[in-house]
Amino acid sequence: MAGRQEKKPGVGEQGEGFLLQAVELGVHRRLMLPSVSESSLAGAGWYAAQQMSTSSRMLGIDAGATLCKLALSCERPQTALIPSTHFDAVRQQIERWRPDRILATGGRAKQLGERVAGLEPRWVSEVDAWARGASVLARRQGLELPPRYVLVSLGTGTSVLEVRGDKGTRIGGTALGGGTLVGLGRMLLQAGSFQELTQLARRGDRRKVDLLVGDIYSDGRAPLPPQVTASNFGKLASTRDVDLAHALMGLLGENIALICSALARLHGLETVVFGGSTLNDNPTLEQTLELSTRALGQRPHFLGTAAFCGALGAAALGEV
């Protein structure tokens, strides 16, 4: 409950237990989030997501460094993901949907131009769009968030916001993100896509790649549990693609969790909410974030239809 005081989890025995789980094989439990299914539209990396009902006809666009996310709020709502390198495809989809208003956010939003489908887009703050979108998605999930919490946008990089109600303020971030995974995956594994990398990671065991505390302290006198990561990629006993992919997710997840938990503590916050396209069909990363965040003393939550948080928030801002 929003006003209910809950006992804050510590980083003692309970936290150590979560750290142990975070490096165990078979941690890829899928949380029950709304699904995202591939669209029948060919080419340009299209996806259609869960429909969401509303009586208005607003189009929210979140144009990021890698993906352009579209959310149409109308009687039969629709969402789509299109690579940010395909703005012609974005404009074509807008013309098909024929919205009454367009609200755009994100670093590449200006590439839409001054007019699209006969409409002049209204530019909205990315921080405000994400804060509003998180509120919208949380209500649809039946997730009751506290008045103040940390909101994490996992995209090409990672932004960290403090949210108060529907208002957000950026409090930090990191260059670690989906772009890191794709770049390292291409270099190390010749993985052709983000989807290929996430599929490989599901089948891997990063304990064969990462150096663990137990590998260093063989006498059992370690200051930390033996299964805690001492050095990412520090062992490299296996160079199988699946194990390397799993280790990449661990490298990203553990370090993002550390940064977000530190920022949460700095601002006196206990709840960390994760969203963004890097979590799409990526249970390995989601599980690492969940276990690591809990081990560090915060309460993690994950937004369903996570990629569309900013786009949905932009559309919602058009209804006020």
Spell out where the chain has E strands: 36-38, 47-49, 58-63, 67-73, 78-83, 101-105, 122-123, 148-154, 158-164, 167-174, 211-212, 229-231, 271-275, 299-302
pLDDT of residue 320: 63
**Domains of the chain with bracketed CATH:** 17-24+128-310 (3.30.420.40), 36-124+311-317 (3.30.420.40)
Tokens of 295: 């081990």
d(CA 22, CA 111): 40
d(CA 180, CA 154): 11
Q: Which of 249, 235, 230, 248 is nearest to 290 (CA)?
A: 249
pLDDT of residue 223: 80
pLDDT, averaged in runs of 10, over the chain (320 residues): 43 54 40 31 34 65 93 85 90 91 89 81 93 94 96 97 94 97 96 94 96 87 83 97 98 97 98 96 95 94 93 88
Beta-bridge mates of residue 150: 162, 272
Residue with tokens 């189009």: 59
Beta-bridge mates of residue 119: 116
How would you classify the pairing of strands 101-105 and 122-123? parallel
Residue with tokens 């995209």: 155
pLDDT of residue 39: 33
Tell me if residue 144 is catalytic. Answer: no
Selecting among 13, 126, 196, 290, the annotated active-site residue is 126
